[in-house]
Amino acid sequence: MQMSGFACALLCQLLLLAGASRSILRSAPDVASRVAAEYQQNIQIHDGFLSQEQQDIEQEKEVMGHRTRALATGKWVVALDHDEKTKMLVQMRAGTSQPSIRDPCSSISCGSLVCPAGFVPTSVEGHCCPYCVNPNIKIEPEVKGATGGSGGVASTFCKDVWCFPT
């Protein structure tokens, strides 16, 4: 009898623990109704991405238009980089007005420049060091290479300089 009382108490404790664990597992809120409600919403997130893409395309066209307009104005000369191989377009400007600032070229020392035949060292206003420029090369009125169509890209280091692949 003592054994059956112990077994009964053990059985009661097991049943009590099983019920408690079931209530712990079911204490999370029921999210099925919320999922169903969100499923009914018509969210078109791709429309926002499409409008952003169209704005980006317009901004890109505007930037590219500024580059081609810059090529149409001013006098351009063909120059060689210091490696004497890389061709560049350098814009010559006459009498540009700059605010009074300290000379940015004062701390830059230019190396000796030896130009190949037909090229002469030429100082360009707004640039620290001279370039090897060929004055006999005439630039066509409509320059197409520096638009990026033939590989010409604007220099990341020098303003008004376009570099071409060698």
pLDDT in tens, 144-159: 545 556 667 777 777 7
And the tokens for 156? 């990341």
Which residue spans within the chain are E strands per DSSP? 75-80, 87-92, 120-122, 131-133, 153-154, 161-163
* Strand bridging mode 161-163 / 87-92: antiparallel
Spans of all domains in the chain: 116-166
pLDDT of residue 77: 79
pLDDT of residue 44: 75
Residue 10: how many CA atoms within 13 Å on its side-chain side?
6
pLDDT of residue 8: 72
pLDDT of residue 70: 61
pLDDT of residue 95: 60
Nearest-CA neighbor of 89 among 18, 160, 141? 160
Contact 75, 139 (CB under 8 A): no
pLDDT of residue 141: 58
Supply the pTM of this predicted model: 0.31
Q: Which residues of the chain have pLDDT under 70?
A: 1-3, 16-29, 65-74, 93-101, 140-151, 165-166
pLDDT of residue 97: 61
Check the CA dihedral 118-123-125-129 and report its sign.
positive
